[in-house]
Amino acid sequence: MKKSLILFFAAALVLSLAMSIAADIPRDYYVSPYPVGTMGDTFLTCQMSDPRTFNTHIAKETSSTDIIYRFLYSTTTRDPHTAELIPHVVKGWDFSDDGLVWDFYLREGATWSDGVPITAYDFEFNMDVIYDETVPTSSRDVLQVGGEYLDYEVVDEYTFRIILPEPFAPLLASAPGPLPKHVLYEPWKAGDFNETWGVNTPPSEIVGNGTFILGGYRPGERVVLLRNPNFWQVDQEGNPLPYMTRWIMHIVESQEAMMLKFEAGETHLVSVLPDAYARYKMNERRWNMTVHDLGPAFSTMFVVFNQNPNAPQFDHGDGEDYHKFEWFTNIHFRRAVAHALDKDTLIDVVYDGLATPQWSPVSAPNEFFLNPDVPKYHYDLEQAREELRKGGFDWDAQGNLVDWEGRRVEFLMTTNAGNAPREALGNILQSDLQELGMRVTFSPMDFNLMVGQLTSTFDWECIIIGLTGGLEPNTGRNVWHSSGQLHMWHPYQTEPVTEWEARVDEIFYEGAMTVDQDERQELYYEWQEIIATELPLIYTVTQHSLVAVRNTVKNIDPTIISTYHNVGSFHIER
Amino acid sequence: MRTYLLRRFIHVIPLIIGVSMISFFVLNLAPGDYVAQMAMNPDISPRLLAQIRAEFGLDQPVWVQYFHWLGNILTLNFGQSFAFRIPVTTLIGTRILNTLILSFFAILFSWIIAIPLGIHAAIFRYSFRDNILTFFAFFGISIPNFFLGLLLLYFVVRTGFLGLPIGGMTSWYYDELGFFQRMADVGKHLVLPVIVLGTASLAGLMRQMRGQMMDAMSQDYVRTARSKGLSDRVVIYKHALRNAINPLITIFGFSISGLLGGAALTEIVFSYPGLGTMMLEAVRRQDLHVAMAGLLMGAVLLIVGNLIADILLAVVDPRIRYD
C-alpha cells in the first residue's frame, strides 16, 4: 500500500515535471526519438558542385536540391529504415472513402524560420505557383491526373485539402509542401518568380521551415547553413532542435580531394569510392571513424537495344540496316546478351566487390515494390548459344555468328565517354559477345551526342546507360509507358506495339489509380516480371553506397534512404 | 606612340567580332544544347524542355541567337547564365578576383625564381649546378599540374606539413577573423596551388632565359665589354641581360592572357573558387552566355597582353620605335 502510494507520487511528480517542460512547446511539434545531445557544434561535410539556385521550382540538379531540401521541407518524407511515407511538415492526413478528397493537417504552432506561422495558405500558394505555366517546374507534370490539374482549397488555417478528379496513388509521394507566401507572393505577382532566390540573393532574405536555414554562400567554396531557431522539432526533454549551430558544406569538385579532406580531419563525413573501401576499413581506428556499407543504391545501369522501326537506319523495312531491327526485336537475341553479361567480373573488377547484381527495374532499396522472383539470367555462354540457336542464329565455318540469311551479326555499342563503370561494362560485354561470334564495335561518345541519338535522332544500335531510380514506381512512367519520351527502345508510340507493352501501359494506369498498397505491389510485381522476361532493358549491377563518418558525430544513423534524416539530433562529442 | 596605340585599338574591334562569331558558332556546333542535358531526367517532360528552350531563345536559328547576343554586348549586357539564371557579369564578378590573386602570385613566383636561375645557369653553363637545374626544369615541364597537385595534397595529408589546408581559398571560420588573420588564412591556402601553377611555367622560363643569356654571352659586344676591363657584374647585367631579355617580354605578354583561364585543372584539384572551374563547367554544359563571356575575356586579355609586351619592348630596347 505504502509502496504503491510512493510510486504514485513519484509518477505524478515525473508527469508534472514533464508537463511543465512541455508546456511551452506547441503540442504538434515532432519529438525526435534519438538520445538527448549537446548544443553548439559545427558540422562539416563536402558536396560536389555549386548550387545553381535556391529556388525549389527552378532547381533541376542535385547540387541545388541537396541544399534546398535542408531548409525547405515538404509534406511527406520517407521512413529512413522502411521507406514508408510518413508525415513531415504536416502532422497527418486522411482521405475520403472514394480516395478523391485528401485533407492534410498542419502542425499548429509551427512557424517559418522568421517566426511567421506556417498555414494552409502557404500550401495553396505553392499549388498556385506550380500551376503557373510561366514557371518551369517539373512538379506541374507530376501533379496532373489524366491531363487535368488537381483542385485544392484552404479548409481552415491548419487544414489544406486536395480534390482529385480520379484516384491517384502517387499523390502522397509528390504532395507539394508549403512555400512562404509572405515572402514570395510579391515577386511571383510581379512575374519575377523564376529569378527569385537565385544564388545572388542575400541569405537573410531566404526563409525556410527545415532543420537549417541558409547562412551564407561563397561561390566555389562553401555553403553555410545555420540553425533554424524556429524549427518544429524537439528532443525528448523538450529542447529545441537542431543541436548543431552550423553546417558547413565545402564545395569540392573531385571525390579524391573530398576523401583527402576527410583524411586530413577537415570534415566529419565523406562518401567513399569502392576502391578505397579496404583502406578506409583498415584505418577506422587510426582516423577515429566508421565506414558504413549502406548496400546497393538507387542508381541503375543497363544495356538497351534499339527496337524503334522509325529509326532512320531501319525506316519500317526500307532502311539499309533493317535486319538489325529484326535481331534486336528477337527476344532470344536479347536473352543471349543477358546471359553473356558477366556481372561477377564487373563487380570484382570495377567495384572491388562492392556492388550487387540487379535483375528488375526497381532499385534494391525499394524493398516494398521489389519483386525478388523475376527471371534471372546468370552468366552462361552455353545458355547464350542455346538462346541464339532458338532465335534462328547460327555459326559459319569461322565461328562467326550469322543470322537466318547468313548475314554476320555485328553492331555498334556506345556509352557516354568518361563514365568509368559504363566503359568497363562495355569492354567486358564486348569480349564476351565476341566469344559468341558477334562483332561488336564499342566506342564511347560525348554525353550530349548520345542523348541526342537516344531521344531525337534514334540512329543508334546499342547503348549502355543508367537512370536514377526512386521509391515511387509511377515516377518511371516516362520510361515504361509506351508513349514516354524515355521509353528508350521505342519512344513516342501512339499505340503500344507489342502485347506486353500494352499490358505495362495498363499496369501503370491502374497502378496510379489504386490506393491500396498491397494491390499496387501486386501490379508492379507483374510489371517487373514482364520487363525481366522481355528484356527491353538488360539490367546489370548496382554500386553500393559507402560512407565514412567520424566517431565523434553522435546520433548519426545513415541508411540508404537518407544519411541526414535526423540531422537535427546530430551533435559532436567533445 | 599615341597614333600607334589608336591604330592598334581600331584593329582590335573587327578582331573581337571575328573571335566572337567563330566562338559562338563553334560552341553551337557541339551536339545538343544546355536543355538537352535534362532530357535524361524522367521527371522532366518534353513539354517542359520545349518551354525552357523557348525561354532561353535556344529554339531560334543560330545566327538569330548570335546577332541578338551581339546586340546585347554592344550595350555591355553579357546576358544571363542558363544554369544560374543570374547575369553573367554577376557570376564572373564573384570569382574574378580569386583567380587574379592566384594567377598573380603564380606568375610572380615563377618569374622571380626563373629569371635569376636562368642567368645563373647560363653563367655557369655545363657545371654541376647547371645540370641539377636542368634536371629540375625538365621534371617541372613533364609532370602534369593536376598530378603534382594531388601528390602535394597527399604529402600534406600524410605529414601535416606546416598545417597547410587541403584545398579551398579560405577556412570556414574566415568571416570571424581579423584583417591580418584573413590575409594569413588566404596565404596559407595559396601556398600549394601557387607552387603547382608556378613550377609549370618556371621550368620553361628558366630554360628560355638560360638559352637567350648564353646566346648573348657569346656575342662580340660582350667580349668587347670584357676587354674594356668592365666588371663581370656590369657585363652580365648591363650588356648581356638587356639584350637577352626581349623574347621573355613577349612571353610575359602571352602569360597575361592566361591570367584568368589558365588554371582550371589546378583549381579543380585544390577546389579553388576560381573562374577556370566555372568556365570549364560552362563549356561542358553549354551554358552559352557564360562560355562566350569567358572566351571573349581570354581574347581581350591576349590582345592587351600583346600590347603591353610591345610597349614594354619599346621601353626596354631603345632600338624599337613605333612612330
Residue A247: strand pairing partners: A43, A225
Comparing CB atoms, the residue among B42, B150, B160 nearest residue A475 is: B42
CB-nearest to A257 from B90, B153, B277 is B153
Nearest residue in chain A measured CA to CA from B175 = A216
Q: What is the pLDDT of residues A27-42, one digit of tens each?
A: 789 999 999 999 999 9
pLDDT digits (tens, 9 = 90+) for A434-481: 999 999 999 999 888 898 888 888 999 999 999 887 888 988 888 999
* B262 pLDDT higher than 70: no
Strands A246-251 and A42-47: parallel
Per-residue pLDDT, B294 = 87
Asked if B169 lies within 8 A of A221 by C-beta distance, the reply is: yes
A154 vs A161: CA distance, rounded Å: 6
The minimum CA-CA distance between A246 and chain B, rounded to whole Å, is: 10
CA-based nearest distance A261→chain B, Å: 6
All residues of chain B having their beta carbon less than 8 Å from the beta carbon of residue A137 are: 48
Of the ranges A538-552, B22-36, B49-63, the best mean pLDDT one: A538-552
B172, B186, B190, B270: best to mutate for the A interface, most A CBs within 10 A: B172
Do A223 and A251 contact (CB within 8 A), yes or no? Answer: yes
Q: Which of A137, A219, A476 sits opposite B42 (nearest CB)?
A: A476
Q: Are A51 and A67 in contact (CB under 8 A)?
A: yes
The closest CB to that of A452, out of B36, B52, B153, belongs to B36
**What confidence tens digit (pLDDT) does each residue in A66-106 have?**
999 999 999 999 999 988 899 999 999 999 988 899 999 99
Examine the pLDDT at A18 and tell me if it is beyond 80.
no
Q: What pLDDT does residue B286 have?
A: 87
pLDDT, residue B226, reads 83
Higher pLDDT, A132 or A145: A132
Contact B86 A195 (CB under 8 A): yes
Does A485 contact B39 at a Cβ distance shorter than 8 Å? yes
Tell me which chain B residues have a C-beta less than 8 angstroms from the C-beta of A216: 175
Interface A-B: count of C-beta contacts within 8 A: 144
A228-287 pLDDT, tens digit per residue, is: 999 999 999 889 999 999 999 999 988 888 998 999 889 999 999 888 999 999 999 999
pLDDT of residue A6: 53
pLDDT at B300 over 70: yes
Q: Which of A448, A467, A471, A537 to mutate to test the interface with B (most CBs of B within 10 A)?
A: A448
**Tens-digit pLDDT profile for residues A35-65:** 999 999 999 999 988 999 999 999 888 889 9
- Cross-chain CB nearest to B94 (options A53, A58, A219): A219
- In percent, how much of chain B has pLDDT > 70? 99
- Strands A144-145, A101-106: pairing is unpaired
Distance, in Å, from the CA atom of B89 to the CA atom of A273, rounded to the nearest integer, reads 37
Residue from the list A142, A219, A263 with its beta carbon closest to the beta carbon of B43:
A142
Segment B240-251 shows an average pLDDT of 83
The answer to whether the complex's ipTM is over 0.85 is no
Distance from CA of A263 to the nearest CA of B (A): 7
Contact A343, A379 (CB under 8 A): yes
Q: How far is B292 from chain A (nearest CA, A)?
A: 19
Compute how many other C-beta atoms are within 10 angstroms of the C-beta atom of residue B160.
11
Instruction: Work out the pLDDT band at A16, boundaries 50, 70, 90.
Output: very low
Q: What tens digit of pLDDT does each residue of B143-197 get?
A: 888 888 888 888 888 887 887 888 888 888 888 888 898 999 899 999 999 988 8
Cβ contact (<8 Å) for B167 and A252?
A: yes
As a CATH number, domain B96-273 is 1.10.3720.10
> CB of A81 within 8 A of CB of A561?
yes
* CB–CB contact A136 B30 (8 Å): no
Give me B73's grid cell.
554586348
Q: Which residues are CB-contacts of A137 (< 8 A; sequence separation ≥ 6)?
A: A57, A58, A129, A130, B48
Nearest residue of chain A to residue B271 (CA atoms): A252
Question: Which residues of chain B are in CATH 1.10.3720.10 domains?
Answer: 96-273
- Assess contact for A73 and A245: CB atoms under 8 A: no
Q: How far apart are CA B137 and CA A271, in angstroms?
A: 38
For residue B151, which phi and psi values (nearest 5 degrees)?
A: -60, -45
A261 → closest Cβ in B42, B91, B167:
B167
pLDDT band at B304 (very low <50, low <70, confident <90, very high): confident
Which of the 8 DSSP states describes residue A430? H
The answer to whether A221 contacts B46, with C-beta atoms less than 8 Å apart, is: no
- Tell me what pLDDT residue A1 has: 41
CB contact (8 A) between residue A53 and residue B95:
no
Query: Chain A closest CA to B183's CA: distance in Å?
Result: 17
pLDDT band at A24 (very low <50, low <70, confident <90, very high): low
Option in A198, A446, A475 nearest B43 (CB):
A475
Q: pLDDT confidence of A19, banded at 50, 70, 90? A: very low
pLDDT score recorded for residue B136? 82
* C-alpha cell at position A12: 505524478
Selected residue of B44, B51, B102, B286 to mutate for chain A interface (largest A Cβ count, 10 A): B44
Of B42, B98, B167, the CB nearest to A257: B167
Task: Average the pLDDT over B205-232 and give the result.
Answer: 85
- C-alpha distances (whole Å) from A500 to each of A192, A337, A404, A472 are 47, 20, 25, 21
Task: Test B42 with A260 for CB contact under 8 angstroms.
Answer: no
**List of domains in chain A:** 30-52+195-294+546-572 (3.40.190.10), 73-182 (3.90.76.10), 302-469+536-544 (3.10.105.10)
- CB-neighbour burial class of residue A103 (10 A; exposed 0-12, middle 13-18, buried 19+): middle
What pLDDT is stored for residue A112 in this prediction? Answer: 95
Q: Mean pLDDT, chain A, as a whole number? A: 90
CB contact under 8 A, B150 and A195: no
Most B CBs within 10 Å: which of A57, A222, A300, as the mutation test of the B interface?
A222
CA distance, residue A377 to nearest chain B CA (Å):
27
Q: For residue A416, what is the DSSP state? A: B
> Is there a contact between A222 and B168 if contact means CB atoms under 8 Å apart?
yes
- Judge whether residue B32 has pLDDT over 70: yes
| pLDDT for res A13 | 47
